[in-house]
């Protein structure tokens, strides 16, 4: 094959890798060593590691992401299981995917209306005699909306993992006298561990960085790593500190990827994997 011709068409892609993959990561690390006066320093890291505000924020962010991931798994697993028992599985799966094609901002906007002081939920609470409550701008509303948004991304990989199970294994388990519950715990659950891991990966890291939800739904009461980065970059203009938090987030991303195994896929890609079937 003509090697020079090959090199020429490869050039734009290589340029992309250099400019938009390697350079940005290098730059964010580089930037994290500068303070507001453009002096090279490790002060940002010292501040981060010694300030209780930053550490508490990081822990909080982790805790929220953990809760969101946990609730998503708890809701999605049974849903994926029951989906697999339906007749027109592909069609129903498509209906699960459809909401992910609606702009995230619009879904958040809907919840502003639903959870508002005089919104539907409060009207309902008033109607059954509990009386209106402050729902919007609380931790609860943030976790609820984030879970709502992430559910499809968790259902898909779990659904695929369950669909791949050889039905003979389930029959065998039942023939050997296992109850439905035992089959679920001893056979289905271990066989779908990969799907759960993939789902956790697709949900956990994005949950650390959902800054628009913390602003619109959490009402600035909830501060995640993503919110902190956005704040430092776009409001206080302290790029050095913002980059430092960014580096922390990148490190966490690598740790969580190392912990959850080799799968590296983004959410949408899982979608297509599912619809391709």
Show contacts with other proteins in window 188-217 (CB under 8 A): 205-206, 208-209, 211-212, 215-216
Q: How many CA within 13 A on the CB side of residue 18?
A: 6
Cα distance between residue 243 and residue 25, in whole Å: 10
User: Interface with other proteins includes 246 (CB under 8 A)?
Assistant: yes
**Window contacting other proteins (CB under 8 A); options: 130-138, 164-172, 185-193, 243-251:** 243-251
CB of 50 to other proteins, least distance (A): 23
User: Interface with other proteins includes 253 (CB under 8 A)?
Assistant: yes
* CB nearer other proteins, residue 193 or residue 265: 265
From the centroid of its chain, how far is CA 237? 26
User: Interface with other proteins includes 255 (CB under 8 A)?
Assistant: no
Size of the site for other proteins (CB under 8 A): 89
User: Interface with other proteins includes 12 (CB under 8 A)?
Assistant: yes
Q: Is 156 exposed, middle or buried, given 0-12, 13-18 or 19+ CB atoms closer than 10 A?
A: buried
CA dihedral of residues 158, 159, 161, 166 (deg, nearest 10): 150
Residues across the chain = 277
Binding-site member from 133, 186, 221, 265 for other proteins (CB under 8 A): 265
One symbol per residue from 33 to 72: x for binding other proteins (CB under 8 A), - otherwise; what is it?
Answer: ----------------------------------------
CA dihedral of residues 48, 49, 53, 55 (deg, nearest 10): 110
Please name the residues in contact with 227: beta carbons below 8 A apart, sequence gap of 6 or more.
Answer: 211, 214, 215
Binding-site member from 143, 239, 244, 270 for other proteins (CB under 8 A): 239
Binding-site member from 50, 87, 101, 262 for other proteins (CB under 8 A): 101
């Amino acid at each position: 094959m003509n090697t020079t011709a090959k090199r020429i068409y490869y050039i734009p892609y290589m340029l992309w890798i250099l400019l938009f993959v390697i350079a940005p990561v290098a730059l964010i690390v580089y930037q994290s060593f500068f303070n507001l006066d453009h002096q090279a320093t490790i002060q940002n890291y010292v501040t981060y590691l010694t300030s209780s505000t930053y550490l508490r924020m990081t822990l909080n962010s982790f805790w929220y992401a953990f809760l969101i991931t946990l609730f998503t798994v708890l809701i999605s697993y049974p849903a994926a299981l029951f989906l697999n028992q339906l007749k027109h599985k592909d069609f129903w799966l498509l209906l699960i995917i459809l909401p992910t094609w609606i702009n995230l901002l619009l879904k958040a906007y809907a919840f502003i209306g639903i959870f508002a002081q005089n919104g539907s939920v409060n009207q309902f609470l008033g109607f059954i005699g509990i009386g209106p409550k402050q729902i919007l701008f609380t931790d609860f509303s943030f976790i609820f909306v984030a879970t709502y948004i992430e559910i499809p991304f968790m259902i898909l990989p779990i659904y695929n993992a369950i669909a791949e199970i050889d039905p003979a294994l389930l029959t065998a388990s039942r023939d050997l006298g296992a109850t439905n519950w035992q089959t679920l715990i001893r056979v289905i659950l271990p066989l779908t561990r990969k799907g759960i891991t993939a789902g956790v990966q697709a949900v956990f890291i994005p949950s650390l960085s959902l800054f628009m939800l913390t602003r619109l739904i959490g009402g600035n009461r909830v501060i995640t790593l993503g919110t902190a980065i956005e704040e430092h970059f776009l409001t206080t203009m302290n790029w050095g500190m913002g980059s430092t938090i960014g580096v922390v987030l990148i490190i966490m991303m690598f740790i969580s990827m190392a912990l959850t195994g080799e799968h590296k896929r983004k959410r949408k890609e899982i979608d297509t994997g599912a619809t391709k079937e």
